[in-house]
Structure formats: C-alpha cells, structure tokens
Structure 1
Amino acid sequence: MKACRKVLITLVAIILTGSAIFVPNPSISSVEAASTYTSLTNKLNTIMADNRMKNATSSITVRKASTGEIIYERNGNKGITPASSLKLLTGATALETLGEDFRFSTAVLTNGKVSKGTLNGNLYLKGQGDPTLLKSHFDNFATGLSKQGIKHISGNLIGDDTWYDSVGLSSGIMAEDVPYYYAAPISALTLSPNGDFDAGSVIVEAKPTSNGKAARVTLSPNTNVLKVVNKSKTVPKGSKNTLKITREVGTNKVIITGNSPIGTSGSKEWIAVTDPTMYALDIFKRSLAEKGITVGKSSKLVKGKTPATAKTLLSRKSQPLKDLIIPFMKLSNNVHAEILAKEMGKKVYGEGSWDAGLQVMRDYAFSVGIDTSQWKFEDASGLSYSNKITSRELSQLLYVIRKEPWYNTYYKSLPIAGSKDRYVGGTLRHRLGTAPAAGNVMAKTGSLKNIKALAGYAKTKDGELLIFTVLTEDNKASTVPSIDQIATAITNHK
C-alpha cells in the first residue's frame, strides 16, 4: 500500500508539473474581479480598511466555486495559524482515506473459559479508536456478558489501547489547555460523557448548597479516575459567581475554587482525564457491577495487549464516518480530528501515530494539486499555534474537493450560519443570524487566542456559490465582526 501511494503521488507531481489545471490564473482572476465583481471588491476593501483588520495579520481569498477563479485576494500566500479551520483538510482526508462507511470497532474478549458462572481468565476491553463510546455501551456489554452466563470474573480487566501508539498529546498543546476536554489525551480506548462525544473527558458540575458550605460536586459519568479537591463556598443570593473548575496539570486532581451563590445553577466544566484507557476500564467495571457481575478480590484494572488466541465475546461498531463527521465538524471536535489522523496513519502506513496520520493528510493534499509547501501543521485539530496555512491553498482545497464523490457529505458537515440547532448551526449557530447571511454561509470556524478564521462556502443573492477563506492572527481586538461582515457582503452580492 505504501508503494502504491508513493507511485500515485509521483504521478500526480509529474502531471502537475506540466499542467495548471487546478491553479487558476491570477491575471484572469483580476480581470474577472475588475468587471463582474467590482461592487463586492469595493465592499471587501472597505472592510479590510477598518481598524480591526488593519491591526491584524490576515490572508483572504474568494473564489468562484464553479471554476476556481480568484475574484478577490489579500495576502493570499501569507502563512497564518488556521486554528480549527485546519479541520477542513482533516475531514476531507478522512473521507477520502477511510471512506464514508468507515466505522470504529470495540470488542470484549477473553483468554479463559466460563464454568459455573465464573470466567476463569482475563477479560479484555480492546479499543480501536472509537470516540463515541458511552457509558450505555458498556452497560450493553455487561448485559451481553450476563446473558452468556458470566457472573464472576476471576482474572484481570485489561484495557487494550495498542491499536495506536502511546503518545497521548500532540505537539504544540499549551499547559493551560491540558486540563480541558478540547485537549484530552488520545487513546485507542476512550469514553465520552455524552452525545457530543468529547472523548476522554468527564463533566464536572458544582452547585450551591447552603450558605457557608462547600458546593455540591457531581461527576458524569461517576468515576474514580479523577479526585475532587473542593475548596468552593456557597454564598448568599446576589453574590458574584466566581466558581472555577480545573485540573491540576500532571495529576488527576480536580480543583474547585470560588464562590457559588444560592439561587444560581453553579458551574459546569468538561475536564480531560489523564489516562483515557483507565477511565474506560473504570466505567466498564462499574457497568459490570451494576449488572451483577463481580470481579475477584485480587483482580486488577491494567493495560495490556490482547492475546492473538483470545476469543471475542462481544463487539460493537460505531456510527459510520458519514454520520460521525457531523458532530466532528459542526462542533469542531479536536479529539475526533486527532483520532481520525491516527486512524488514517494506521490504515495507510500501518502506524497509528501523528507522524503517519499527518503524512496521509499531506499526501492527500498533494495528490489533488495543493501546494503542500504552504501547509505546515503538527496536529490535525488546529490546536497548535505553530500550524501555518495560506488562504489561497485552503480555498483551493475547498474548490478541488467539489469533484470528490463524498463532497455532499462533507458540505453538509459544515456549520450553517444562524441555525439554532447545534447539529446544524454548530459553531455558527450564534453568528450571522440575519438575512442575507443566515442559512447562506456554510463554513468552518477557527478560534485561538488572538486568532480567528472562517472558511467555506457562501451563496450570493443570485444563487452563485463562492468559496471564501479568511484567516487572521495577531489581533488584539477580535476580528470576528469584520469576518462576519465579509461573509455578509458575499451573500449580499448580486
């Protein structure tokens, strides 16, 4: 497979050397812009002249979706940190590499035999990357084991996460991000707290009790992998809510501080666990106990590799990628991006690592004519500040993928401006909520400190589909209002 891939890439390189089929001629685009799109160009120039954009470093490109011709550009070849707009490449590569019908698998296996209700041997929980596993799925596993007559397990509960490598955090993650769900460690065996599928995190909630007492803390799902240190205090109604929930970096201690006023809902935070594999095992053991299945007094929860001779007792497959890409792209799920990268590396290069997965992303971009020298990234989610791309190449990607058989699935996964439904509007549900932009901007957001991006498709008043990519950084004042003005101007064009 490696050899075939390299041959394909070499052939593409040869073809691209002698052809400009994917790269619009800038001079032709300039003529186009000067005639048909003069009013739009003037509006965009006015927006670019405001203080927010003048004080930011930016890269902007607008293309015709039908031909790829550039109709507006400002610093199109300037490398900018893309934040989550990098997921546009991750999602495209995943659909191409894994396929729309790809499903993650999880299995329960044993190297022992059942006798009189006792499983004499170890029980293995083998993960292959599924970020959609919930407590209810482990409950189903426990029910299935009970139906097979298992009431007691004499051996260990072993979590097998060897499908991917053991590196949990990608390069570039900052220490202050590590305690939270969006920077949760990556593991082939993990668990999500709810249907948003923020794998590797626990929902920690603190609510007021009685005056002077500590806030009441709950974990969802309830787990022992986090230890709560509650320093909070319930204060009288009308006081300021200063509750803060975080995790001490390098430990499993959840620290809760601040005041929780009576009459308020308190505070809620999605906290990343330190070890997703042990988190999944802990919840699995709880599910077993709830179904009346006990483990031996000397049994342990440990990590390990499933023996080749182990027998599969139960298995589960996730929803297909064509469905999973909705919460991934709409909600901009970082963990999904990184898991998909490792899965792509596993499939193409036989290695579930970031190095392999990111290489697959570069391979795909190059194979469709993207100038990969303009793409520098060290993760698949866009969380690293060291990532750099240009608006021209990102918009070129959005143009060439329109020819892919999975394009409709990809297009539907993009947040739709102004739609209040979380799984439709996603990260744009509270933006661009009025005409003409509402419902006519389908784009991926990107946001880090002093970095804002928006890239995707927009329909003009005449129904023409345009591709736009707006990348900004070094902005002390948020450029979101200006970016939204750009999107609105495009939808208002006729």
Structure 2
Amino acid sequence: MSSKRYIKLSAILLLLAAAFFLFIPDEEEEPLFITASDEKEDGYVSLDDKFDRVLDKELLDGTVTGISIRSADSGEELYSKNGDIRLHPASNMKLLTAVSALATLGPEYRFATEVWTDGEIRGNVLHGNLYLKGKGDPTLMKKNLDQFAVDLQNKGIQRITGNVIADDSWYDDVRLSQDLNWSDESNYTGAQVSALTLSPNGDYDAGTVIVEVNPTEDIGGQAEVTLTPETDYVTIINETKIVNGKENKDITIEREHGTNNIIIKGKVPVNAASSKSWVAVWEPAGYAVNVFKKSMEDKGISFAGLPEVTNGVTPESSTLLTSRKSIALEELFIPFMKLSNNGHAEVLVKEMGKIFNGEGSWEKGLEVMEQIAADLGMNTDTMMIRDGSGMSHKNMVPANEWTHLLYDIKKAEWFNVFTNSLPVAGEEERLIGGTLRNRMMEEPTKGNVIAKTGSITGVSGLSGYVTSIDGKELIFSILINNYLGDTKEIRKIEDKLVTILAEHEF
C-alpha cells in the first residue's frame, strides 16, 4: 500500500471515530428512555416503595397488614398488599351495615314508638293497661316520653287502673351479639339491643344512662352522683371518698352483671373536674317504661297497677293512643357513622331482619347484609360476618372487598347520604370530623379524606376516599391485625399511608 493511500485511509478512520464519539451522550445528558430505576435516581419514588418505607417498622413485626387501593373512576386496582387475606375489620364493618340499610330500608326510613291500651277511657280514668310498644327506635328520649304524657293528659286521662307494660316484641329477646366480650357488657359500646329502649342524649346512645360524679367540699365524705335521665331503674352504690386537692382522681364506674346496681369506687379530689360515664343498663325496655311512668306522674297521671315494670305483648284488639316517628336514617347516620355507634349498627341489623325476613334477630338481619354484599359484587365466600358493629373478633373481610364495596356503591342514588355520614379528616366539629377530627389535621389530608375508622383489641382499620395531588380520586382500605403496640402509633402509620396517597402523582 502506498503512503498516500495509507494516509487517506487513516484520515477516513479518524473521521469515522470522531463521528462515533460525537453521538455518544454525555454522562450528564438526559437518557432517551427512562426506566423505573432511573426514575428513582431522578427523584421519583413509586407508590410501592413509599408504602414499603412506611411499613418497614418494628412496631408492625408480627402483624398482618392488608392494603387495597383502587381508582374511584374505573375501579382499577392500583396497589394491593395482602389484599385478599381475610382480616378483622373492627368498625369498618359498619360500612357494610350502613350500605345494606340504605339499600334496603332507604334514607327516609323512620322507626316508630307507640302507646296503646287494651281498655277504654271513661271520664278521666283509663280502665285497662297501657302499653309502651317499641319498634327499634334508638333515638327515643325522655322529652319524647314527656310528650306522650302530655298527649294522654290531653285525652283527659288522670288515672290508669291497670299496669304500664313494656312491649319490646318487635325484636327477639337476645340482647347482646354473639361474640361480645363480657368486659364490654356494662359499657355503652356494648349496650343491650332492644326494640324498646331509651337514649340519654342527642348522640342517641340507646340503652345507657349517664352517670356524673362531682366533688363536694366535704373531705372524707362522698362525691355527688347524678343520673341523666333521672331514674330509679338503676341503683347507685356510692363508695367514693372526697380527698384533698393534691391527690389524683382515681374512680371506677361499673354495673354489676345481671343487675342494675352501678358501683362507683375511688378517690375524688375536692377540686376535681366532673366525671361522666355512659353505663349500659340491664334490660332497657324496663328502663324506658320506668322513665315514662315518671313523665306521666309529673303530669299528674296516677296508677293503680303494679309498681314494678311489667313486660308483655300488645293485644291485637288494642287502641292506639299516641305515637311518634324517629328522625330519618339519613339524619341518624350522622351520629351512627361519625361517632361509630355500635348500638345503631346492631339495631339496623335487627330492623333489616324484621322488615325483610320477618324476624328481628341478628341471624335474619345478617342474612340481608350478606345478600346485599353479594349483590354489590363482594365475594361473600371469602368473608365472615358476625355482627353489624364490628365488635366481634370473628368478623373477617379482606381489604380488597372493602374497596370493591366502596367503588360499587358510587352510582347508588343514596351515595351522597353515605359519604356525608363518613368522618372527615381534621375537621374539628364533632359531628363533621367524627372519629377523624383529631387525625390528619394538615394539608393535603385535612378535609380531603373521608373514611370509616375501626379499632378493637389488636385491630385497627381505615377505609374510605381521598383525592391525590393530581386530582385522582382514590378508594383505600387499610387493615392492621395482631398488633401489640400503642394504637396511637398504629393510627399514625395508617395516616401516613393515606397522606402518601394524597401527595402522590399518578
């Protein structure tokens, strides 16, 4: 090869090499295609990785966490961790109870309470028995019984020769759900379910009496105890002691099993604040009649019958004297769902059983709930439903089934009634924020998260709706089971996961 040809060939090779290196991207240059791993280096973190970081906590060792995230627009599953594992839902069970009641009874449904007689009014005397018949109304209060007394007074009745009888036959006589812990029996969270019951306040904690303990100035003496409503159906056993203001308050308020003896023990400092406890009564039908008799006595109506409460069934031939309807379900759902009222849930179960299966029992009511769940696309073969409130540790529902439910009801005509009943994160008003009023109190979760909370021993749950920072509406369910740590710390994990959803770009 001649030297000229060699020089030309070398020049060509140099030019080709220069062209090759000219098109190699610089290390700082943006790559043409971005992989998931490249995105992380670029500041992007996937939802999976964000969740993994939160869930990598010693507090969760030994627990089972089920998480399901869905698009509220399409129902598409966006994330699932143990989403098909059956877990205890705690009060997330109220989601299905609420949906079932809205789908069957309807938002405008109202409970009834009636006053009947098997006798007749002659002059100012009612010759016969008076029946207070309950049909499940958890909103019945003393003021309503006072109005009944006025109604009887307006009919000219001043004396009743017979008995005042409690009729709670609208439901069966099973007062407590099958898996309720015995330790919950005297607490308002485990109040007995009866077709005839009474609430002490506007939260409608049916079947309870409010016991208030106040200090006196008598050091060494007893604290003052008052009841709302005033009743002698329960007996107060006051074993308190007033102590000096430097000591700590330490009192217990418990009802003895099988009785209405409420025992109050402990020390009450002379400068202590008032203490209130909502105590579930034994046999609430008798409680309602006891207070009703007091209402009538206050209106000057006397009785010749037995002084003690009598139970019975209103004869078919009886005459209706007066009645009332409760607030509509859509109104009742505010305290029911916002404040997670167990009694409301169980009443709804029995009412569904009574109206649709002819029997006001848990068995027949739960059959209705299971049918509604199946109709809405939930896989009932992977679920166990034992009550309406979620108090049972035998309830089992996977997280994916909760997000299925929350998606499938979006087209229901009562959907807004349902979502309006859910607690709203960070909203301090008690009947707006509910059980979420002190959680997720900052942007972007405050006012953006609506969800049902749930908590029983070793179980915490949160299921509902949130909108992401880029406007994507999401449905989520988080169930954490078998934890031994502080419930507050478990809730912080739930809140962090939901906050991630609110901050994430999809």
Structure 1 length normalisation: TM-score? Answer: 0.91
Q: Deviations over 1:196-255 (max 9, x none)?
A: 000000001111112111111111111122111111111111211101111122221111
The residue aligned with 2:429 is 421
2:162, 2:305 within 8 Å by CA — same for their partners in 1?
no
**Partner SS for 1:58:** strand
1:437 corresponds, among 427, 445, 448, to 445
1:482 corresponds, among 488, 493, 497, to 493
**Partner SS for 2:410:** helix
**Identity score, percent:** 44
2:164, 2:305 within 8 Å by CA — same for their partners in 1?
no
User: 1:146 Cα shift?
Assistant: 0.5
Aligned CA distance change for structure 1 residues 393 and 38 (closer, same or farther; 3 Å): farther
2:255, 2:262 within 8 Å by CA — same for their partners in 1?
yes
User: 1:266 Cα shift?
Assistant: 3.5
Equivalent residue letter for 2:409: I
1:123, 1:156 within 8 Å by CA — same for their partners in 2?
yes
The residue aligned with 1:380 is 388
The residue aligned with 1:308 is 316
User: 1:38 Cα shift?
Assistant: 5.8
The residue aligned with 1:473 is 481
The residue aligned with 2:145 is 138
**Partner SS for 1:187:** coil
Aligned CA distance change for structure 1 residues 119 and 248 (closer, same or farther; 3 Å): same
Aligned CA distance change for structure 1 residues 388 and 239 (closer, same or farther; 3 Å): same
Instruction: Give the 4+ runs in structure 1 shifted more than 6 A.
Output: none
Q: Work out the CA distance in 1 between the residues paired with 2:88 and 2:261.
A: 32
The residue aligned with 1:3 is none
User: 1:52 Cα shift?
Assistant: 2.5
2:244, 2:270 within 8 Å by CA — same for their partners in 1?
yes
1:53, 1:482 within 8 Å by CA — same for their partners in 2?
no
Q: Deviations over 1:257-306 (max 9, x none)?
A: 11111111142110000001000000100110111111115465311110
2:422, 2:452 within 8 Å by CA — same for their partners in 1?
yes
**Partner SS for 1:258:** strand
Q: Work out the CA distance in 2 between the residues paired with 1:54 and 1:96.
A: 40
Q: Work out the CA distance in 2 between the residues paired with 1:434 and 1:86.
A: 27
Q: Work out the CA distance in 2 between the residues paired with 1:59 and 1:124.
A: 50
Q: Work out the CA distance in 1 between the residues paired with 2:335 and 2:118.
A: 36
Q: Deviations over 1:60-119 (max 9, x none)?
A: 111111111111111011111111000000000000010111100111111111122110
The residue aligned with 1:6 is none
- Comparing 148-157 and 108-117, the one that deviates more: 108-117
Task: Please tell me whether residue 454 in structure 1 is matched to residue 462 in structure 2.
Answer: yes
2:113, 2:137 within 8 Å by CA — same for their partners in 1?
yes
Equivalent residue letter for 2:191: A
The residue aligned with 2:174 is 167
Task: Please tell me whether residue 67 in structure 1 is matched to residue 74 in structure 2.
Answer: yes
What stretches of structure 2 of length at least 5 have no aligned partner?
1-35
- Comparing 114-123 and 84-93, the one that deviates more: 114-123
2:346 corresponds, among 332, 338, 342, to 338
Task: Please tell me whether residue 294 in structure 1 is matched to residue 325 in structure 2.
Answer: no
Equivalent residue letter for 2:230: N
The residue aligned with 2:502 is 491
**Partner SS for 1:277:** helix
Q: Work out the CA distance in 2 between the residues paired with 1:185 and 1:364.
A: 26
Number of paired residues?
A: 461
User: 1:463 Cα shift?
Assistant: 2.5
1:161-200 equivalences under 5 Å are 161-200=168-207
Q: Work out the CA distance in 2 between the residues paired with 1:468 and 1:414.
A: 14
1:241, 1:266 within 8 Å by CA — same for their partners in 2?
no
The residue aligned with 1:24 is none
The residue aligned with 2:115 is 108
Q: Work out the CA distance in 2 between the residues paired with 1:88 and 1:239.
A: 44
The residue aligned with 1:82 is 89
Equivalent residue letter for 2:138: P
1:82, 1:389 within 8 Å by CA — same for their partners in 2?
yes
2:135, 2:196 within 8 Å by CA — same for their partners in 1?
yes
Q: Work out the CA distance in 2 between the residues paired with 1:298 and 1:181.
A: 30
Q: Work out the CA distance in 1 between the residues paired with 2:481 and 2:222.
A: 41
Q: Which has the larger radius of gyration?
A: 2
1:52, 1:482 within 8 Å by CA — same for their partners in 2?
no
Structure 2 length normalisation: TM-score? Answer: 0.89
Q: Work out the CA distance in 1 between the residues paired with 2:77 and 2:451.
A: 18
1:154, 1:299 within 8 Å by CA — same for their partners in 2?
no
Equivalent residue letter for 1:223: T
1:269 corresponds, among 241, 259, 277, to 277
**Partner SS for 1:312:** strand
Equivalent residue letter for 2:69: V
Q: Work out the CA distance in 1 between the residues paired with 2:308 and 2:458.
A: 46
The residue aligned with 2:21 is none
User: 1:326 Cα shift?
Assistant: 1.0
- Comparing 84-93 and 366-375, the one that deviates more: 366-375
